[in-house]
Amino acid sequence: MAIYSIGQLSKLTDCKVPTIRYYEQIELLNQPARTLGNQRRYNDEHLSRLRFIRHGRSLGFNLEEISQLIHLQKCAEHSPHNAHEIATTHLLDIQKKIRQLQALEQELAKVTNCCNKKTAYQCKVLEVLNDF
């Protein structure tokens, strides 16, 4: 089993050192062993967990959702379907945000297209914003 310093773990996972410490503080990442000089020493389990957290974050899961998923990994009492429910709920939230962003895009396109681009003084953006 490999042993890593916090700097090495940071480089291997592309996760900043303060973030690793924060994940320890909120108990997403188990406390590492310490040297006699009180330096943290991480193992492959920490590396795997941190990669799991980073991948979850890259998929947009919040820390609470990741905490729940970690719990499901460790707890045999829960059904794997619980992880599916968390992911499905997250997917529905993302789809809702996409629809909201598409509506925002359409509105902004409409507002910016109403300007007479030949003359800056005839720009209607500020006028349209006041009409809301």
- Residue 77 pLDDT: 78
Instruction: Reply yes or no on whether the pLDDT at 65 is more than 80.
Output: yes
Identify any residues that bridge with 40 across adjacent strands, giving them in sequence order.
34
The reply to whether 108 and 87 lie within a common domain is: yes
Residue numbers of the domain that contains 97: 79-132
**Residue 72 domain flag:** no
Identify any residues that bridge with 41 across adjacent strands, giving them in sequence order.
33
Identify any residues that bridge with 4 across adjacent strands, giving them in sequence order.
42
To the nearest whole percent, how much of the chain has pLDDT over 70? 92
The three-point CA angle 55-57-63 to 5° equals 125
Instruction: Reply yes or no on whether the pLDDT at 48 is more than 90.
Output: yes
The reply to whether 48 and 91 lie within a common domain is: no
| pTM of the model as a whole | 0.79
- Which tens digit of pLDDT belongs to each residue from 87-129? 999 999 999 999 999 999 998 888 887 766 666 556 777 777 7
| CATH code, domain with 22 | 1.10.1660.10
Give the closest residue to 68 by CA, choosing from 53, 54, 48, 58.
Answer: 53
Residues with Cβ within 8 Å of 56's Cβ and at least 6 positions away in sequence, in order, are 65, 66, 69
Identify any residues that bridge with 42 across adjacent strands, giving them in sequence order.
4
The reply to whether 2 and 58 lie within a common domain is: yes
- Residue 117 pLDDT: 63
The reply to whether 53 and 17 lie within a common domain is: yes
Of 27, 42, 67, the residue that ends a domain is 67
Query: What backbone torsions phi and psi does residue 14 show, to the nearest 5 degrees?
Result: 55, 45
Instruction: Reply yes or no on whether the pLDDT at 85 is more than 80.
Output: yes
Please list, residue by residue across 73-108, b when 16 or more beta carbons sit within 10 angstroms of its beta carbon and e when fewer do.
eeeeeeeeeebeebeeebeeeeeeeeeeeeeeeeee
More confident residue, 80 or 38: 38
Q: What is the mean pLDDT of the chain?
A: 90
